[in-house]
A and B are shown apart, each in its own frame.
Chain A
Amino acid sequence: AQSVTQPDIHITVSEGASLELRCNYSYGATPYLFWYVQSPGQGLQLLLKYFSGDTLVQGIKGFEAEFKRSQSSFNLRKPSVHWSDAAEYFCAVGPSGGSYIPTFGRGTSLIVHP
């Protein structure tokens, strides 16, 4: 069965600092991978996704993520964090080949200090 681990429950950074949120997955083949962001009281918004091809994926709001098969990781990065980035971030993995049910990690809460 597929699974996702987000080892950091909370991350605190200063505004303007760089950010890396960790995501490790377990799946037997090449997965589909996603990062979502959830602001308080809001639904999830897709930041970026990896299906195949280039392992460095660019997303919205200046985020990027790199798929590393050897490490079973899909870490999310941003070079300079803005206060508005404070939110909950979820990594998700879905099986490839037509199945549709993603498995979400428990989330990482990002706190941004001014």
Chain B
Amino acid sequence: GAGVSQSPRYKVAKRGQDVALRCDPISGHVSLFWYQQALGQGPEFLTYFQNEAQLDKSGLPSDRFFAERPEGSVSTLKIQRTQQEDSAVYLCASSRDSQYEQYFGPGTRLTVT
């Protein structure tokens, strides 16, 4: 079936604006992960859902970051009052269960000006 999709692919925000990034996981995948990838770095874990439950949000860098997955499928990562240091690629991944083999989406490149 279709892979993980993310939208928008590119987002430019002025500092202080709120943004919402969407992730459509592979159908039937229980687990969903969000990562932040800074330029020249590997992905860093932000948060994890199993179905609609957010089981781990230890990687969220501040309380300006919020994620939800209300029906256990599509997920949204929201960043309030964006700052320049939020500029990065935000990757979403899903898996059949929590035991690894994650499938990644193409990412959303966020640029905060």
Contact = CB atoms under 8 A, between A and B. Distances in A.
Query: Are the chains A and B members of one assembly?
Result: yes
Nearest to B42: A104
A94 B100 contact: yes
Given A46-B101, A100-B31, A101-B45, A106 B40 contact: yes
Nearest to A107: B42
A98 interface: yes
B100 A102 contact: yes
Contact of A45 (B41, B42, B104): B104
A43 B100 contact: no
Interface residues of A, number: 23
Secondary structure class of chain A's binding surface, majority of residues: strand
A112 B102 CA distance: 27
A32 interface: yes
Contacts of B45: 101-103
B42 A101 contact: no
The listed residue with most B CB atoms (<10 A of its CB), out of A44, A103, A107, is A44
A91 B5 CA distance: 23
B25 interface: no
Interface string A65-108: 00000000000000000000000001010100010111111110
Contacts of A101: 45, 48, 56, 59
Interface of A: 4, 32, 34, 36, 41-46, 49, 90, 92, 94, 98, 100-107
20 contacts: A36-B104, A42-B107, A43-B105, A44-B104, A49-B100, A90-B43, A92-B42, A94-B100, A100-B99, A101-B45, A101-B48, A101-B56, A102-B45, A103-B45, A104-B42, A104-B43, A105-B42, A106-B42, A107-B41, A107-B42
